[in-house]
Chain A
Amino acid sequence: MERKVTLACGDGGELAHKLIQQVFVSAFQNQDASRFDSAFLSLESGKIAVTTDSFVVNPLFFPGGNIGKIAVAGTVNDLSVAGSIPLYLTAGFIIEEGFPLEDLRKIVRSLAEEASAAGVRIVAGDTKVVEKGGADGLYINTTGIGVQRAEHAIRPGEMQEGDDVIISGTVGDHGIAILAARGELGLMTDLQSDCTPLNHMIDKVLESGAHVRMMRDPTRGGVATTLVEIAEDFGAAIEISETALPIRNEVMGACDILGFDPLYLANEGKVILIVARNDRQRVLDVLRAFPEGRNAAVIGHITGMGEGRLLLETPLGSRRRLRRLSGMMLPRIC
Chain B
Amino acid sequence: MPALFEPVDPGVAKELARKVIQLADRYKERTGITPAFMEVCGSHTMALARTGIKQILQGHVRLVSGPGCPVCVTDQKQIDAMIEVAESENRIVCTFGDMMRVPGSKRSLLSAKTDGRDVRIVYSPLDAVRIAEENPDKEVIFLGVGFETTVPVLAAAIQLAAKKNVGNFSMWATTKLVQPVLRELLTVKKVKINGFLLPGHVSIVLGEKAYRFLIDEFRMPGVISGFEPVEMLSAIYKLLEIITDNRPAIVNNYKSVVRPEGNQAAQKIMYEFFEPCDEAWRGMGVIPQSGLDVRGKYSRFNAKKKFNVEVGEPKKTLCRCGDMICGIASPEECILFGKACTPLHPIGPCMVSTEGSCAAHYAYMRKDG
**What is A's interface to B at a CB cutoff of 8 Å?**
170, 184-187, 243-249, 251-252, 258-259, 261, 295-297, 314-321, 323, 326-327, 330-334
Contact = CB atoms under 8 A, between A and B. Distances in A.
Most buried by B among A187, A297, A331, A334: A334
A224 B145 CA distance: 31
A223 to B, nearest CB: 13
A318 B354 contact: no
B10 A246 contact: no
The 7 closest A-B pairs by CB, nearest first: A330-B97, A318-B52, A314-B52, A315-B10, A331-B97, A259-B354, A326-B343
Interface in B68-106: 70-71, 96-101
Nearest to A321: B366
Interface string B339-367: 00011100000000111000000111110
A327 B7 CA distance: 28
A185 B123 contact: yes
A236 to B, nearest CB: 19
A225 to B, nearest CB: 13
Contacts of A297: 1, 3
Contacts of A317: 10, 14, 52, 56
B12 to A, nearest CB: 10
Contacts of A334: 42-43, 70, 146-147, 149-150, 201
Given A318-B52, A332-B98, A333-B70, A243 B3 contact: yes
B249 interface: no
Given A243-B6, A320-B49, A332-B96, 14 more contacts: A184-B127, A185-B123, A186-B127, A187-B123, A247-B4, A252-B5, A258-B97, A259-B355, A314-B50, A315-B7, A316-B13, A323-B363, A327-B343, A330-B100
B353 to A, nearest CB: 7
Interface residues of B, number: 54
Contacts of B264: none
Contacts of A296: 1
Given A316-B229, A332-B353, A249 B55 contact: no
B121 interface: yes
B232 to A, nearest CB: 10
A259 B101 CA distance: 15
Interface in B226-244: 229
Nearest to A244: B3
Given A315-B13, A330-B98, A333-B98, A249 B5 contact: yes
Contacts of B121: 184, 330-331
26 contacts: A184-B122, A184-B127, A185-B122, A186-B124, A186-B127, A243-B10, A246-B1, A246-B3, A247-B3, A259-B355, A315-B8, A315-B52, A316-B51, A316-B53, A317-B52, A318-B56, A320-B52, A320-B55, A320-B364, A321-B366, A330-B101, A330-B121, A332-B43, A332-B97, A334-B149, A334-B201
Contacts of B55: 318, 320
B266 interface: no
Given A245-B3, A330-B354, A316 B96 contact: no
Interface of B: 1-8, 10, 13-14, 17, 42-43, 46, 49-53, 55-56, 70-71, 96-101, 120-124, 127, 145-147, 149-150, 201, 229, 342-344, 353-355, 362-366
Nearest to A256: B227
A196 to B, nearest CB: 19
A320 B98 CA distance: 24
Contacts of A252: 5
Given A259-B355, A318-B55, A320-B52, A186 B3 contact: no
Nearest to A253: B5
B41 to A, nearest CB: 9
A184 B128 CA distance: 10
Contacts of B1: 246, 295-297
Contacts of A185: 122-123
Contacts of B354: 259, 330, 332
A78 B123 CA distance: 34
A315 B45 CA distance: 17
A333 B150 contact: yes
A202 B227 CA distance: 39
A320 B51 CA distance: 9
Nearest to A251: B5
Given A243-B10, A326-B343, A332-B353, A259 B56 contact: no
A323 B51 CA distance: 16
B4 A249 contact: yes
Nearest to B69: A333
Nearest to A314: B52
A334 B355 CA distance: 9
A172 B249 CA distance: 42
A248 B1 CA distance: 13
A252 B46 CA distance: 16
Nearest to A260: B354
Given A327-B344, A330-B121, A330-B354, A316 B52 contact: yes
Contacts of A323: 363
A331 B14 contact: no
A333 B17 contact: no
A246 B4 contact: yes
A326 B122 contact: no
A245 B123 CA distance: 27
Contacts of B3: 243-247, 297
Given A259-B46, A327-B344, A334-B70, A170 B4 contact: yes
A261 to B, nearest CB: 8
